[in-house]
Each structure stands twice: as structure tokens, then as C-alpha cells.
Amino acid sequence: MLDTTHIRETLERHFDLSPDPDLAEEMSDIYARMKRVVPPADWAIHAPYVKAIDTLKREKNAVILGHNYMTPEIYHGVADFVGDSLQLAMKAQETEADIIVQAGVHFMAETSKILSPEKTVLMPDMAAGCSLAESITAEGIAEMRRRYPGAPVVSYVNTTAEVKAASDICCTSSNALQIVEALEADTVIMTPDRYLAQNVANQSSKRVVFWEGSCIVHELYTAEDLRAYREHDPEVKIVAHPECPPEVVAEADFTGSTGGIIRWVEENRPRRAMLVTECSMASNIADALPDVEFAKPCNMCPYMKKITLEKILYVLLTGENEVVVDPEIAARARVAVERMIDLSKKLGL
């Protein structure tokens, strides 16, 4: 694991990263995308990092793929593409860059490497994991196959490369129902998120059996809390991620992937919205939607929040934290991920 003191000492030798209000002013076009949520003093701290990252990206022909849960200075300041897991996987497949810096969690970087084995994929912090990815191994998939012989395995992209390699097809929160429906089987195994599986089962004609994993961020929401909030504010629109328990999803006006949630709020422009998902989602769209007031009883993902401008700059500078996937495992995992992408494209998702 990289040590913060070492990161700082290394960066100090190459850049002047002290807070710079003049540079912040010069870069006010970027700041305009986040000024509702980032105070000017903070922007003066971030601006030197944003500039240094931008320069290195050009020198090294690198792109930064940023998940929707990144903090605003990453999401608006340095990411070349932002999106949900499916959108980022598709970008990793298409990009012509030599280096991908994954501003997200480890399974996303592995997915990029699986889809673009010839590219260098860098993780700003290798400890940015995911409770879902940690909940199952390839042996868990084998156990499910023994329990339900002949049933196809649909694994959420929030899994390791080994688990993807042991699965028939992947899914994300934006295509899970359509993938399950498209399979020619009456019983489908979904791993590792029990809530995503239950939410799919509630809308599907199939029997969906599942692994007992969960997301430590979304499992914290309760239907009682949402009902109490709606009672206090009957006009609020509640928008939830499908990693939430089914009784929470039942209280929502809309359920979708992080990309789907952003699209829904942009298109519907509710006066007040509560995004039942990770904290940064509301922050990242607040400036583009000044007419929407966001209620924020949010839960933070401790893994996503390991990614910082400082660590992005460090891995870009040094090339450290390269993500490596065993080629034989990557080849098998690629089949499951590409099946998902091809089917999603065919279905127009």
C-alpha cells in the first residue's frame, strides 16, 4: 500500500502544489461546474492538482475514467469520462489512450484491463475495494452451480476477474433485468448482490436464486426512514439505486443505475429530490440543476472515497499501482463482460 508521506514527498519534488487563489481564478470555467458544492478556498487547494494532472494526462496520452461517486473536484476537474459501471466499461473498450487511470474502485479497473489488455490501467489506491466484490469467490460460483445444476450464472460487474471468469455473463445495475430476461432458462443464478437479485426477481418472470452479498452503503437505507421523510415533505421525489433492499425500492419514485438516476433527475427536474445512494451523486449534479433542491440523508462509500486528486497525480507521475490480471483468467472473464456489453448494445441500453 502507498504511504501518504512518501506520496507527498515525491509530489513536492516535481510540482508546486500549494494553494493558489490566482490559479483558481484562472481556472474558473472548471470551478463553475462545482461552485454550489465546493467553497472557493477548497478550489484554491484543488486547482494546482487539477492543472498538474491535466498536463501529465496530455504528456502520457492517459485518460481518467471517473465513476459517478467520485468527489466533485475529480468528477468535474479531471475525469475525461464519467458514468456508471456499464458506461465506463464501454469507454474502456473504445478509448485510444495508452493509459487508463480508473477513478473508481478496483473491480472497475479490472474490468477496464479485461476489456483493454494492451493498455496500462492504473489504480490511484489499490485498497479501493467493494463489499460486494469481497463477498464471493470462484468457489462460491461453483457452489451455486452445484446447488442449481444447469442454471446460468449472471454475475454483477462488482466482482473480481476470477468470479467473472467463472460466470456465464455479467450485468450491471442498468441492465440486470434485461440480461436475466434474455437468458433461455427458467431459473437464473444471480451473484453476489442479494438485493439487486430480489429487485430483479420482483420484475421478472423467472425464478431468480442468489448469493447473500450486499453493498454496505445501500443496505443502510430503510423504508421507515423514507416514509418518514416523505411524510415531512410530500413533494419530494425519491430516487433509489437497485442495491437497496426491495422494501426501500418500493418507496421510490424511480430506481436505476447511477447513470439512470442522473438522467431521471435531469429529465424530470423535481423541485426536491432525495437520491438514495452514495453522497457524491447529488453534489456532482447540483450545479447543472440549480432549480433542484437535494435532500441529503446520504451514505458514503469508504472505498470510493479512497480516491483523491493527490493519488491520481501520483500514479500518473510514477506509473505505480498498475492493475494486472492473469491473461488466462482475463480471457475467460472477457467472454462474460463482452456478452453483457453486446447484449446491452443490441437491446439499445
Number of residues in contact with ligand 13P under rule CB under 6 A: 11
Where on the chain is the footprint of ligand SF4 (CB under 6 A)? Answer: 105, 130-132, 158, 215-217, 243, 278, 301, 303-304
Of 43 and 156, CB closest to ligand SF4: 156
Q: Are 16 and 48 within 8 A, CB to CB?
A: yes
Question: Minimal distance in Å, beta carbon 79 to ligand 13P?
Answer: 14
How far apart (Å, rounded) are the C-alpha atoms in residues 129 and 148?
29
Residue 280 touches which of ligand SF4, ligand 13P, none (Cβ within 5-8 Å per kind): none
How far apart (Å, rounded) are the C-alpha atoms in residues 33 and 71?
12
**How many Cβ atoms sit within 10 Å of the Cβ of residue 326?**
12
Q: 209: part of which helix (H) or strand (E)?
A: strand 207-210
Q: At 159, is the secondary structure helix, strand, or coil?
A: coil
Residue 219 interacts with ligand 13P (CB under 6 A)?
Answer: no
Question: Minimal distance in Å, beta carbon 104 to ligand SF4?
Answer: 8
Residue 175 interacts with ligand 13P (CB under 6 A)?
Answer: no
Question: Minimal distance in Å, beta carbon 85 to ligand SF4?
Answer: 9
Question: Minimal distance in Å, beta carbon 86 to ligand SF4?
Answer: 14
Of 43 and 303, CB closest to ligand SF4: 303
Residue 234 makes CB contacts below 8 A (sequence gap 6+) with none
Of 297 and 319, CB closest to ligand SF4: 297
Question: Minimal distance in Å, beta carbon 177 to ligand SF4?
Answer: 18
Question: Minimal distance in Å, beta carbon 121 to ligand SF4?
Answer: 17
Of 43 and 69, CB closest to ligand SF4: 69
Residue 173 interacts with ligand 13P (CB under 6 A)?
Answer: yes
Residue 109 touches which of ligand 13P, ligand SF4, none (Cβ within 5-8 Å per kind): none
Query: Length of the chain, please?
Result: 349
Looking only at the bridges linking them, the beta strands covering 272-276 and 254-255 are unpaired
Residue 168 touches which of ligand 13P, ligand SF4, none (Cβ within 5-8 Å per kind): none
Question: Minimal distance in Å, beta carbon 13 to ligand 13P?
Answer: 35
Of 228 and 347, CB closest to ligand 13P: 347
C-alpha distances in Å from residue 48, one per residue of 21, 30, 54, 156: 10, 13, 10, 37
Residue 308 makes CB contacts below 8 A (sequence gap 6+) with 71, 74, 124, 125
Applying the rule CB under 6 A, the residues between 250 and 309 that interact with ligand 13P are: 257-258
Omega before 124 within 30 of 0, i.e. cis: no
**How many Cβ atoms sit within 10 Å of the Cβ of residue 253?**
15
Return the residue of 71, 155, 172, 191 that touches ligand 13P, per CB under 6 A: 172
How far apart (Å, rounded) are the C-alpha atoms in residues 187 and 254?
27
How far apart (Å, rounded) are the C-alpha atoms in residues 7 and 314?
6
Residue 162 interacts with ligand 13P (CB under 6 A)?
Answer: no
Binding-site ranges for ligand 13P (CB under 6 A): 68, 84-85, 158, 172-173, 215, 241, 243, 257-258
